[in-house]
Amino acid sequence: MGMTGERRRRVWRWALIVWVLAVAAAGGLTLWLQDSTEPQGPYGWDETKPDMTPDLPPCPTPDRTGPLIACLYAEAR
């Protein structure tokens, strides 16, 4: 029985080593692929001025042959 118990421990040890290596490789691959899908920099903030109104496109002028068009702009505060 001593020989089979020793062999069983060796098999479990190798299975554990293979599992740890597979988890480490999969984690590294996941991080590498996740970083490669993000856009490249430079990152920055756009400066806004709350006093200025944004440039809005002009409202279309309705013609008598087409559908009635309503144009409404709301300012968010």
18-47 confidence digits (pLDDT tens) = 999 999 999 999 888 876 666 666 766 767
The reported pTM is 0.43
Residue that has been written with the tokens 């279309």 in this structure: 60
> CA 24, 29, 32, 38 torsion: positive or negative?
negative
Residue 39 has what pLDDT? 67
Q: Report the alpha-carbon distance of residue 4 to residue 10 in Å, rounded.
A: 10
Count other C-beta atoms under 10 Å from residue 72's C-beta.
Answer: 5
The amino acid at residue 67 is P
